[in-house]
Amino acid sequence: MTDQAILRIEAVEKRFGAVRAVDGVSLEVGSREFFALLGPSGSGKTTLLRIVSGLEAPDRGRVEIGGTDVTRLPPYLRRIGMVFQDFLLFPHRTVAENITFPLKMQGRSAAEREEQLDWILGFVRMEGLGARFPHQLSGGQKQRVALARGLVSRPALLLLDEPLANLDRELRKEMEIEVRRYQEELGIPFVYVTHNQEEALTMSDRMAVMHQGVLEQIGPKLDVYNMPATRFVASFVGAPNKLAGRTIEGDGARSRIDWDGITLIGRSVSDARPGDPVEIYLKSERIALSASADGIHHENRVEGTVRDIIFKGQFADYIVRAGNEVELVVSGPPSISGVDRGSRVNLGWAVEAADVFAAKDGEP
């Protein structure tokens, strides 16, 4: 993080009975940063967001916003905005009334509410729709109203809890661009909670991956994607191929692996001794595929047969059964010369593309 921190979370813990929903989490968010908190359902990310917002009190730890300890302050004294998954618009109030509700609760004058309303309606491209009611809006318009309500008071920090989860795919992709625009143009830090890695990677500057109440990895999104620090991050981010093997030898940086009779070399992320079971995570788009062995220029080389080709528009997934009968998914152009179902092909990938982890509990 390069700019001054607006949000600091220090050793925060939260239990619900025997479940430790948030387990000693610490992180900082910069004053102009788009920060994504990524994790599966039940990972603790929404609980952490609720602690930052003041909707939950931590059992231990401290939350600072703008250098002020807000750990025990109510939400309305934290200078935050919030956007929720289900919009939470008042059905019998107009767009204008929904958007200006936070200003009214803050005791802002009618003139100031009107001024801010005009500004935010223009900003989210909803001019002329202030008199409509929520049932008269499309899904995208409802989402813009929810975002406008979170931004209208120009908060020090905007918290977003899976705000695009209820939108269809095309509208979600459109809103990803819009939300990113809002953050860049306003310069307000956003903390965006999601289980959708595509959203996190599309919009964020930095991200944290959360699992079972713990932050597994924090960093620039490309670092998290390309250099996972834990087995969970490797398995959750990027939907990679997972291969099981055993260590032949390693020097701490690289490991030579026996993968069902095929020798591979990968980036060592955790220590494993010769003979120990390991897991290799390999993203599908980092595998080169060619009809000719001369088209592969990597240390790792595998021959196989194309079982199926799944067309996905701008790219295709090639399901390749390797010589050891284990299948790999390879993402590539929708058409590759000399490659069709049943074709014999050559695969290859760089050493740093394969992340090698000691297998959990010693099991491959």
Please determine, for residue 304, whether its predicted confidence score (pLDDT) is greater than 50.
yes
Q: What are φ and ψ of residue 344, in 5° steps?
A: -80, 130
* Residue 253 sits in the same domain as residue 116: no
- How is residue 253 written in tokens? 């940086």
pLDDT band at 364; cut points 50, 70, 90: very low
Name the average pLDDT for the chain.
Answer: 92
Q: What is the pLDDT averaged over residues 179-208? A: 94
CB contact burial 37-59 (16+ within 10 A = b; e otherwise): bbbeeebbbbbbbbbbbbebebe
Task: Write down which residue in 204, 232, 260 finishes a domain.
Answer: 232
CA distance 280 to 211: 20
Count of structural domains, the chain: 2
Of the two residues 250 and 339, the one the predictor is more confident about is: 339
How many Cβ atoms from other residues are within 10 Å of residue 282's Cβ? 23
pLDDT band at 363 (very low <50, low <70, confident <90, very high): very low
Paired sense of beta strands 354-358 and 277-282, if any: antiparallel
Decide if 157 contacts 107 (C-beta within 8 A). Answer: no
What pLDDT is attached to residue 3?
63
Best CA proximity match to 287, nearest among 278, 300, 277: 300
Q: What are the helix (H) ranges across the chain? A: 45-53, 95-105, 110-123, 139-151, 169-186, 197-203, 221-226, 231-236
CA-closest candidate to residue 80, choices 96, 63, 94, 60: 63
> What 3-state class would DSSP assign to 362?
helix
pLDDT value at position 188?
93
Bridge partner residues of 191 (DSSP) = 35, 159
Q: What is the dihedral of CA 219, 224, 226, 231, to 10 degrees?
A: 140
Phi then psi dihedrals of residue 161, to 5 deg: -110, 95
Q: Are residues 86 and 127 in the same domain?
A: yes
* Same domain, yes or no: 304 and 352: yes
257 and 228 housed in the same domain: no
**CATH of residue 177:** 3.40.50.300
Cα 74 from Cα 6, distance rounded (Å): 18
- Does 42 share its domain with 72? yes
pLDDT for 2 equals: 47
List the CATH number of the domain containing 270.
2.40.50.140
Same domain, yes or no: 139 and 253: no
More confident residue, 40 or 167: 40
Average pLDDT over residues 67-77: 93
pLDDT of residue 85: 80
44 and 107 co-located in one domain = yes
Is the pLDDT score of 217 beyond 60? yes
Residues 195 and 52 in one domain: yes
* Percent of the chain surpassing pLDDT 90: 80
pLDDT for 295 equals: 85
The pLDDT confidence band at residue 19, using thresholds 50, 70 and 90, is very high
Q: Who's near 80: CB < 8 A, 6+ residues apart?
A: 52, 53, 54, 65, 155, 156, 157, 158, 159
In this structure, the answer to whether residues 228 and 246 fall within a common structural domain is no
Question: β-pairing, 262-268 with 300-311?
Answer: unpaired
Please check whether residues 208 and 98 belong to one and the same domain: yes
Domain holding 243, by residue range, is 239-362
Q: Report the pLDDT value the prediction gives residue 238, as an integer from 0 to 100.
A: 87
pLDDT band at 319 (very low <50, low <70, confident <90, very high): very high
Do residue 248 and residue 204 come from a single domain? no
pLDDT tens digits, residue range 93-124?
Answer: 999 999 999 998 888 999 999 999 999 999 99
Q: Pairing mode, if any, of strands 68-69 and 60-65?
A: antiparallel
On the 0-12 / 13-18 / 19+ scale of CB atoms within 10 A, 280 is buried
Query: Does residue 343 carry a pLDDT above 70?
Result: yes
What span, in angstroms and rounded, lies between the C-alpha atoms of 39 and 356? 22
| CA atoms lying within 13 Å on the CB side of residue 106 | 21
Q: Do 26 and 158 belong to one domain?
A: yes
Tokens of 24: 């000693």
CB 144 within 8 A of CB 127: no
The pLDDT score that the predictor gives to residue 14 is 97
Number of alpha carbons in the 13 Å side-chain half-sphere of residue 117: 22
φ and ψ at 169, to 5 degrees? Answer: -60, -45
**Boundary of a domain, candidates 232, 267, 289:** 232
Tokens 């603790």 sit on residue? 44
What's the pLDDT score for residue 284? 96
The last residue of one of the domains, among 185, 203, 232, is 232
What length is written for the chain?
A: 364
pLDDT of residue 362: 43
